[in-house]
Structure 1
Amino acid sequence: MSNSRPIPSARQLEFQDWELGLFLHFGIRTFYEGHRDWDGKPMPPQAFNPVDLDCRQWMQVCKDAGVKYTVLTAKHHDGFANWPSEYTPYSVKNAAWKDGKGDVIREYVDACAEFGIKPGIYYSPAQADGLSGLSSEVSMEESGGYDDYFINQISELLDGRYGKIDCLWFDGCGSEGHEYDWPRITGEIRKMQPDILIFSMGDPDYRWCGNEEGYAGIDNTNVVESIDFSVLADEQEKLKTKKWLPVECDMRMRDKNWFYSENDVHTVKTQQQITDVYDLSVGRGANMLINIGPDRRGHLPECDSKALIQFGQAVKQRTATPLVTLTDFIPDEDSQSWNYQTPEGTTRCNMIVIQEDLTDGESVKRFSIDINCYNNGRFLSIYQGCTIGHKQIIRLPEIRAANVRLRILEADGSVKLRSIELHHV
């Protein structure tokens, strides 16, 4: 084992076990059809009026779909605050909704607690000047004043009034070239919420996949020296040292819009399309964060909800009864291969799911799935991959084999498996 390889925290390992999250883009943009990020078009706060906001409905959908955590936009790039912030007039307190007495974040975290879903908050560090009615001292052109504003607002969200927040999602879009006082900002964050997981920026605990389609690469690794942080940035941000930063893959339920639109219902993904993305995210060792924009009533749209639930239930069902598990495999003395031999005849399978035990770090760099069609003769390699990491989901044409073997081709030290399963789906 390399003495220098990064080791995950218990909290990071817990995050990786969550696997599936729901992204919730909801705010002033929900009420302005056709507006886009950074377009500069005014969006007066009075228009925000979700007349039947039902965060419990959101969480019921999550529960039914097997979603473990959620991330709600508290403040997007436009600067509109989904809570009654003292530091901006551009918030729910100046909305028509509940005569300015409403608080989306309160209703959201209460619903998360009721349904046992872990709450996350999205906060855009960058925001467009000119939309929120703030003074010039709070412009991003004035770093010191803007950092104060940043800390003041984030403190309202994290100081305990909303309880424990499991993750804080920083969107890098709009922050290209801007310097924040990250030691000061993240220091305050971790004082208020010691267990919080920070996404992508400042002092990150997990990182972005680098695209918004939900895909992780076949060579996805938990240990990196640089990270992607914005769709508008051409280069990765270099880290000071190698870090354990698991990947989260965000993607949209609909084709192009993050916020609700009444014009793109026909683009809602099918159960199979979502499953295909899942196998290229969770199935490559990452978490998957799928977005649904609540509508103007404050509900998750029925068609999106139905697709998410069907997907979640189908994914759970296909792995409910494995044909073979780790206890059926015999490891060699050096833990460099694990072999399963069918007691009689052959095993038919078309999906293999492998997990590495990551407690002491990531070891596997390359591996092979080998089969022997009979109880004698030679093995042949039918699949070769790179890392195993948290999980590898390997979908195959149906194979018939008397022996199935996982063989490690390259590793950083000894390998310990958490799970290996053969399935026929």
Structure 2
Amino acid sequence: MKKPYFILALLFCSVCCFAQQYTIPVPKPHQLKWHEAEMGAVFHYDLHVFDGIRYGQGNNRINPIEDYNIFNPTELNTDQWVQAAKAAGCKFAVLTATHETGFGLWQSDVNPYCLKAVKWRDGKGDIVRDFVNSCHKYGLQPGIYIGIRWNSLLGIHNFKAEGEGDFARNRQAWYKRLCEKMVTELCTRYGDLYMIWFDGGADDPHGDGPDVEPIVNKYQPNCLFYHNVDRADFRWGGSENGTVEYPCWSTFPYPYSHSNATEPNKNHGELLKHGDKDGKYWVPAMADTPLRGANGRHEWFWEPDDEDNIYPLDVLIHKYENSVGRNATLILGLTPDPNGLIPTGDALRLKEMGDEINRRFSSPIAQTSGQKKILTLKLDKMQPVNYCIMQENIKNGERIRQYKIEAKVNGKWKTISNGESVGHKRIEKFEPIETNMLRLTVMKSIAPPDIINFSAYNSR
């Protein structure tokens, strides 16, 4: 009598397991904001900007600045910083509230090594406050970057207090508490934040790292968290050249971005670059690069004699097309100078970049959308086309696994591009072709395609 019920139970469990196995990961609401932003800026500012010499990361991590009163940006204007980023097309901006010197750019009550200690503005300056206010004024989402992995003043190297025995252990415990208190200040004083970015991560809260994730969750529940050994709301894309490899999936095999000792992965470098189309977690890619990266330079902070090392416009557009156009979010590193301003040449190049992106992609020749495997795009006449853009409705996950784009030429369909991942945005560039009709065919997908944008451009 019990046998039919037993068989039904087994069938029910099998169906449930099947459904769980094929559940498609989707982004959380704050991760959707990450995709929709597409491009942001990070502003690096610290004591050594004022020392007049080239920055050396190795030295900066171990040698404290002798005189912190060299910090004296007499023309500091965070409005100008944010306007420069907005001109490029950035939708968010991040400020290094503290970096490897340990010096804080706010009025900290727990870290005495901060703007309270300097003569500038009579010790009452708060650049974090100024920066957040400027972001709100010009419509950018504000984020804060917190560097706790290194602190040259306190002798913290790779999260660890130098020394041995009780002396080191006590300092380590004190430093962890200090970091937690600083994070609490930054999370509670400046309103809603778009992102908290821990430089080099925040390590393992059960080891040398502070327990910062609960603080961010409590005070900034809608904020992007990047990152510790347990969680990353996005991942580094494997390089600092402003591009990602293709394909670039938003899904990942685990919810953190860097190797966890309990789950080592020999192919971690490739995972960062490409993601994992079968991954269970939504951990999309970041592509970051300093604006001053030409001619062999790679400068996140302002340094003397770098005016000729701003990336040319064509290089920046290449980076945009191979980051945003490959389902990643691009972050540009910008460098306020000792006066407290984004240099004129940098600001001009950022505006050129924004203008060129708008010229190429703001006005499609034609556009369509649909929840089907074949979308046809009819143009109003025969004309050259050299770009197509595709976007999935990622609220329903990444569904497309293989596609091709064809153009009708002399009455016949000709394949002009094909690929794998689409995600939030895929920009396909190809040699200009004269056509009056384009066709997108999804040849493989894990669920019915949900394409919110298939558009064509002539941007020669």
Length-normalised TM-score, structure 1? 0.88
Q: CA 1:177/1:154 → structure 2, altered by over 3 Å: closer, same or farther?
A: closer
**RMSD, matched Cα:** 2.8
Out of 294, 297, 305, which is 1:263 matched to?
305
Q: Is the 8 A contact 1:138 1:145 kept in 2?
A: no
Secondary structure in structure 1 of the residue aligned to 2:150: coil
Q: CA 1:279/1:302 → structure 2, altered by over 3 Å: closer, same or farther?
A: same
Secondary structure in structure 2 of the residue aligned to 1:359: helix
Displacement of 1:59 after TM fit? 1.9
Is 1:414 paired with 2:409? no
Question: Residues of 1 paired with 2:362 and 2:50: CA distance?
Answer: 41
Q: CA 1:343/1:259 → structure 2, altered by over 3 Å: closer, same or farther?
A: closer
Q: Is the 8 A contact 2:55 2:303 kept in 1?
A: no
Is 1:291 paired with 2:333? yes
**Higher Cα Rg: structure 1 or 2?**
2
In the alignment, what sits opposite 1:365?
401
In the alignment, what sits opposite 2:64?
42
Q: How does 1:59-78 map to 2 (within 5 A)?
A: 59-78=82-101
Is 1:216 paired with 2:244? yes
In the alignment, what sits opposite 2:146?
123
Out of 219, 222, 236, which is 1:195 matched to?
222
The one-letter amino acid of 2:103's match is: F
Secondary structure in structure 2 of the residue aligned to 1:326: strand
Q: CA 1:158/1:343 → structure 2, altered by over 3 Å: closer, same or farther?
A: closer
In the alignment, what sits opposite 1:206?
234
Identity of aligned residues (%): 27
Q: How does 1:8-407 map to 2 (within 5 A)?
A: 8-32=27-51, 33-39=53-59, 40-43=62-65, 44-129=67-152, 131-132=153-154, 139=161, 142=169, 143-159=172-188, 161-172=189-200, 179-180=207-208, 184-201=211-228, 202-226=230-254, 228-229=257-258, 236=268, 242-255=280-293, 256-326=298-368, 335-342=372-379, 346-375=382-411, 377=412, 379-407=413-441
The one-letter amino acid of 2:26's match is: I
Question: What are the ranges of 5 or more consecutive residues in structure 1 without an aligned counterpart?
Answer: none
Q: Is the 8 A contact 1:209 1:228 kept in 2?
A: no
Question: Residues of 1 paired with 2:198 and 2:137: CA distance?
Answer: 26
Length-normalised TM-score, structure 2? 0.82
Question: What are the ranges of 5 or more consecutive residues in structure 2 without an aligned counterpart?
Answer: 1-18, 163-167, 260-264, 273-278
The one-letter amino acid of 1:149's match is: L
Q: Is the 8 A contact 2:377 2:438 kept in 1?
A: yes
Displacement of 1:229 after TM fit? 4.4
Q: Is the 8 A contact 1:285 1:392 kept in 2?
A: yes
Q: CA 1:343/1:27 → structure 2, altered by over 3 Å: closer, same or farther?
A: closer
Secondary structure in structure 2 of the residue aligned to 1:83: coil
Question: Residues of 1 paired with 2:201 and 2:431: CA distance?
Answer: 40
Q: Deviations over 1:62-119 (max 9, x none)?
A: 3333321101100112211111222233211212311322111111111111112110
Displacement of 1:234 after TM fit? 8.9
Q: Is the 8 A contact 2:231 2:257 kept in 1?
A: no
Q: Is the 8 A contact 1:125 1:175 kept in 2?
A: no
Displacement of 1:26 after TM fit? 0.7
Q: Is the 8 A contact 2:235 2:283 kept in 1?
A: yes
Secondary structure in structure 2 of the residue aligned to 1:191: helix
Q: CA 1:60/1:181 → structure 2, altered by over 3 Å: closer, same or farther?
A: closer
Displacement of 1:177 after TM fit? 12
Q: CA 1:323/1:127 → structure 2, altered by over 3 Å: closer, same or farther?
A: same
